[in-house]
Structure 1
Amino acid sequence: MEYFKNLWELFVDMSFYMIIGLIFTGILHVFVNKNLILKHVGNKTTASVVKASVIGVPLPLCSCGVVPTAIQLGKSGASKGAVVSFLTSTPQTGIDSIIATYGLMGPLFAVYRAIAAFLSGIFSGIMTNILCKNEEATPEKLKPSGCSHAKAKTKSCGCSQAKAETKSCGCSHAKAETVNLSFIEKLKSVFSYGFGKFLDEIAEHFVIGLLVAALISTLLPEQWFSNFTNPILNMIMMLIIGTPMYICSTASIPIALTLIAKGISPGAAFVFLFAGPVTNIASVTILYKALGKKALIIYLASVAVCAVTFGLILDFIINTFHYQGIAVVGQIHAHEHPGYMVVLAILFGILVLRSLIKKYTTKKIDNTCCSH
């Protein structure tokens, strides 16, 4: 019962900030012009590396969704450095996770996370441009890997019926045309994207993150990580755990929050927040084909160096200024939730459940040919 209590408390705390974040996600999707992004980033200057990092920070793209977007940047003439900069800064955070981080972990963590994403994007991009100076980005080598590239095909299953099918994993990369829509129609698009397509994409990872966080909170005794006193080793451990995982920037928040409650330093928890969303085994394989061996090594090394460096800096800031603004799970559970948060959590839970049902129902239909 303790497990389900912890799970419910975490879910209620996150739901309010997730709802706000998804609204802003929809606003970005509807009102930000994708062609404008390509115009600013699609060249081979150092400024494009900086712009790629700036643009990447608020964009709500997971490490799955960021890959085809980065491909388009390369096809638009962006240097390898700009592509790597975008790949580094974008998955770390987004408008949804910034708001959720602020609500659950405090303003320092939220601001620091965005700054770290921005600076690490610039660092990895510039290093790539320097060390791959005479190489061109070749994203055209990349083959689809599960993230949709809107490929329509006709599929027959022997039942004398042809079905037009669009392959998709939920990572909606194609921006709907909204130029000629009225304001009311755009407003509807904000909610249909934020609580529809985007939530469909992250719902599974969000739930997994909550389940893991509640499990850690239930099984590990308080201050368990305080037995491991070497901060560098703790950060390396978080780096090893986070790097191969596929977890979005929002789903990593409850896990990091619970790790802090169990005695790990905020800096080590930050390493997990940093490395978890940026890299995973699948994306590494894809990027090897897209960028080449040298650029991939630079990318991974930059992620590792930046994650540990920013983790150490965060611990230094917190210890030096005796910052007490980071909430931990025990503190969150110590208060009663107001009624409106419980109501919002129930409504958000229904939306998450709908997204999960839609996802797995679609998978079942796609894998079943006329049910015989």
Structure 2
Amino acid sequence: MQEITRDWLEPLWYGSIFLGSGGGGKSHLLAIELQKALQNRSIPLLSLEELPENDFFCGTGLFGSPELCEENLPSGVEAGIIIEELEKHTGVKFKGITIVEGAGVNIFYPLLAALQTGLPVVDGDSMGRAFPELQMTTYHLENLTAAPLVLIDGNYHLHYFLDKQDTFLLELNTRQIIGQQGGVGYFAGFPHPGSVLKRVLLPGTLTFAREIGECFLQADNYRELITMLLEVTSNSFYGPVIELFQGIVKKISTYELAKWKSATLTSPKGEELQLLFQYENLLAFKNGNVAASVPDLISAIDLNELKPVNNNEIYEGQRLALLGLPAPLRLRIKKALDVVGPQCFGYRTTYLPLERLYPNHYRNKEVFS
């Protein structure tokens, strides 16, 4: 069993931004709070292989606006409340905490919950990146709902969803409450035994996020960074990273009616890439052709700072590199694409894997060494 210490937090922060694929919220302030809390403490980290088959675990995280979370940082007390309430209504005693969304703020909030409750955290998650809705999980792919679930809103009102209702309906119901009660809330749900989690969760995503972050901390220049990222990702269940584009942000556009946004980048050679995003980066078009599409990750790197950035940090005149990372295979099957493919975000295009778009890169045996 590993332990999460203060040394984890800075690389985990960078990794959480990268895996956020433009979204997931700014996790910096939560990371700072955790660093203070971990001064003389640590959090046990359980691999999937270490989970007892019959012990129950619950997932916890943030609903709503990560920006509002920053304005009023959670203390972790709310995690203790909702986990205790979930235990009362399920009749089981939880032996650990799982991560639902392995990116951004929702990597760090379960760690805060672990410190508050004294429970270990499971090294895995159900998205492998940032996604905005409950059904966009590997639980959904296994016909497992998030309920029973307890939600505490921004005004500290408790809401209970105890029946195993359809995940789409649960998403709508919780979103409505959050919209009416301050725009942010925290949940405890997905109560499942270790035997189920071993089958459902994507393994090792927390340690993978840390490894990604270490690349940013250790690299002295962009080329060195790419080499490090290629090595880390090639030895993961994602796939080798690939550079999609380098250029200057020429224009940022917002389409209010559809809640879509786009950033147009131009290269010194005059090539153009258009990045389409909502909460996360979802599609990229290079010279009019698809360059990457969700569920594959599209992550932006500020070339001056050599750091990953969220899409709400992109500005005109910024020098960016856009990197593509193949999604885990479980997010590419038809049932998954029905809830995380481009059409689920309103785009009239089909998913094109990075391996099909860049066959020469992915046929190169050195990529996988």
Q: Which TM class, normalised by the smaller chain length? A: under 0.3
Higher strand proportion (structure 1 or 2): 2
Say which one has the larger Rg. Answer: 1
Name the TM-score, length of structure 2 as normaliser: 0.27
Name the TM-score, length of structure 1 as normaliser: 0.27
Instruction: With a CA cutoff of 8 Å and minimum separation of 6, indicate the structure with the bigger relative contact order.
Output: 1
Higher helix proportion (structure 1 or 2): 1
